[in-house]
Structure 1
Amino acid sequence: MAGMIERRVVLTLLAAPAVARAQGFPARPLRLVIPFTSGGSNDIVGRLLAEAMAARLGQPIVVENRGGAGGLLGNDLVAKAPPDGYTILLAGSGSFVISSLTVPRVPYDVVNGFAAIGLVGAAPNVIAVNPELPVRNLAELRDYARAHPPITFGTPGAGTTAHALGAMVALTLGFPIEFIHYRGTAPALTDVVAGRLQMITNAAAPFLPFLASGRLRALAIAGRQRASILPEVPTSVEEGFPEIESATWYGLLAPAGTPREAIGRLHAALNASLEDPGLRARMVENGVEIETSPTPEDFGRFLVTERERWSAVVQRANLRAE
């Protein structure tokens, strides 16, 4: 009996520092890793969240852009960070789910290497072209692309949502496409606007100034509902192509093994931030429809469902990171 009591005391003492750290969490600045270069939709969403959550956590959140490999480099950095809650990841449908389905080997455990924090929301994707391309809708794109193959398409990285949506568009409309992969949305968008590439898809936010100035032309919203920030742009369903449907969602993850108390604190700060009218307005301005998860576990179940859904899309399009 005495030996059992001693062992319990030892185990309690060993657990005490972790519990104390979690209860005092956060006691120093945090790091939010965005797995893309600055200037894209992920960067915009991540920086808005970092500012709002820092105010509620009482500690600064330092944003670190780690672009490359369609998000895998940034994901890997967080997966291998100390599981103490001080390093978190802005995950997305492309950078976290699709990218892991399109490469032969991922350098981290996709299923068990992360702890879910919470869902942020989703942004409908815009299918856009350089205005020199003589097309104004998806049917005209189909006819032009079949007559002038291949269409050159810029992506923020192999295995991203944009890559998958581009493949979906080409497969549905039946034309050849040449993918040019970058380390983020901004450089891909720069080359489309400059006329070096013909086509791009992404959440609306980074496109807005170029659409307003006429340096980029939106053909359709890839979904069933029009975007509130681009109400004049019809949907792929309205244009007769219901198979083309994709939205970019965003959420927060931490390394597996992060204390539950720290996860709970981060989840509460995230949801409280997303309830703030000022942040909600800024998110909507950038094309993000807010959708929170009641618990971290709910977000974890959402990730499982998303992986199953996109796995079917990747297989159908035979999508592979090059």
Structure 2
Amino acid sequence: MSRRESLVRAAFLLAFAAAPATASAQPGAYPAKPVKLVIPYPPGGGTDITGRAMAQKLSEFLGQSVVIENKPGATGMIGAASVAKSAPDGYTVLFGAASEMAINASLFKNMTYDPRSDFEPVTLVATFPLVFIAPATTTQSLKELIEAARAKPDSVSYGSIGSGSPQHLAAELLSSMAKARFLHIPYKGSGPLVQDAVGGHVDMAVSSVPPAVPLVRSGKLRALAVTSSARSEALPDVPTMAELGFAGYEFNTWVGVAVPKGTPKEVVDRLRDGMVAALAAAEVQATLRDQGAVPAGTTAEQFRQFVHDEVAKSDRIVSQAGIQPE
């Protein structure tokens, strides 16, 4: 387990222990009306499913309705920008993911918001490992594919859900560390990606965990490695990249909560306590397990540093690989 992951888990346990007392000690004016939780993706995806589970429990904690507003578009930037420009009063909250809160800052030069300076961080909610998968009938190991790519650059193809996606960056980080050049094939979603991997139309793919698990268990796909520092509970037999010899490799996607810059600290603290309490609920834990996620629950300052670190990591990968947005 990485130092960051250990810190995140320790923060979650400590924060949850304190959350009920904090909540009962803050009966002030906030919130005096429903809170809007902006999810910058369409309904039905992983971020949306997690956000809705969290919203229900957050509503119980706050004593007010938490209303979901899906605002998709521009890889999450439309929804994120709308929150950044909202009144800093705690009634418009971003439930965002890695792309709009970190990666896009490395890809786009003319963003209408800066994820590092236009938000008050509330908490990191959860991290989601990715998994390298390959057709079960043709590939035995990641080492095999790396050696082929080293011997003949661009001869080994891999699929992701799009240029500049977390899956793309995870593969490019592998390429950099392994000193092997793979051929990137972008797809429009996880469904077509994993099916083409099953059919052998790509040599390898980088996928989120949920769509890969049933195909791995049925023997149609081989899981080669997970991108997290610790093994995934959903795929306990699959090694980490570090276990395969790539010390320091870690690339997760993630979700977190933020509010507009200037939101009062007491409001941020109230929201953070509510999110931590929601994370401890059995229903939310079950939803996170289904998504292959690791719950977090950091302090606001830990999440601020986390976002800065993630932007810096994305900067390095995007620059080294010369990634251009679609």
- Please report the TM-score for the alignment, with normalisation by the length of structure 2: 0.77
Residue in 2 that maps onto 1:25: 31
8 Å Cα contact 1:94/1:162 also seen in 2: no
Alignment of 1:1-322 (within 5 A): 23-33=29-39, 35-131=40-136, 134-145=138-149, 149=155, 151-155=157-161, 157-171=162-176, 172=178, 174-180=180-186, 182=188, 185=190, 188-189=193-194, 192=197, 199-242=204-247, 244-294=249-299, 296-322=300-326
- Give 3-state SS (helix, strand or coil) of 1:234's partner: coil
- Give 3-state SS (helix, strand or coil) of 2:242's partner: coil
Give me the whole-angstrom Cα distance separating, in 2, the residues matched to 1:98 and 1:130: 29
Structure 2 regions of 5+ residues with no counterpart?
1-27
8 Å Cα contact 1:129/1:216 also seen in 2: yes
Q: Which protein has the larger Cα radius of gyration, Structure 1 or Structure 2?
A: 1
Alpha-carbon distance change, 193 to 87 in structure 1, aligned in 2, over 3 angstroms: farther
Give me the whole-angstrom Cα distance separating, in 2, the residues matched to 1:51 and 1:210: 31
Matched residue type, 1:228: E
Shift of 1:273: 1.1
- Give 3-state SS (helix, strand or coil) of 2:167's partner: helix
Shift of 1:24: 3.8
Residue in 1 that maps onto 2:23: none
Shift of 1:128: 1.7
**Percent of residue pairs identical:** 30
Alpha-carbon distance change, 210 to 103 in structure 1, aligned in 2, over 3 angstroms: same
8 Å Cα contact 2:105/2:311 also seen in 1: no
Alpha-carbon distance change, 68 to 127 in structure 1, aligned in 2, over 3 angstroms: farther
CA RMSD of aligned residues (A): 2.9
Tell me the matched-pair count.
Answer: 296
Alpha-carbon distance change, 161 to 228 in structure 1, aligned in 2, over 3 angstroms: same
Alpha-carbon distance change, 46 to 187 in structure 1, aligned in 2, over 3 angstroms: farther
Give me the whole-angstrom Cα distance separating, in 1, the residues matched to 2:37 and 2:256: 15
- Please report the TM-score for the alignment, with normalisation by the length of structure 1: 0.78
Larger CA deviation: 211-220 vs 96-105: 211-220
Give me the whole-angstrom Cα distance separating, in 2, the residues matched to 1:103 and 1:130: 34
8 Å Cα contact 2:227/2:251 also seen in 1: yes
8 Å Cα contact 1:153/1:166 also seen in 2: no
Shift of 1:269: 0.6
- Give 3-state SS (helix, strand or coil) of 1:166's partner: helix
Give me the whole-angstrom Cα distance separating, in 2, the residues matched to 1:188 and 1:299: 31
Structure 1 regions of 5+ residues with no counterpart?
1-21
Shift of 1:318: 3.0
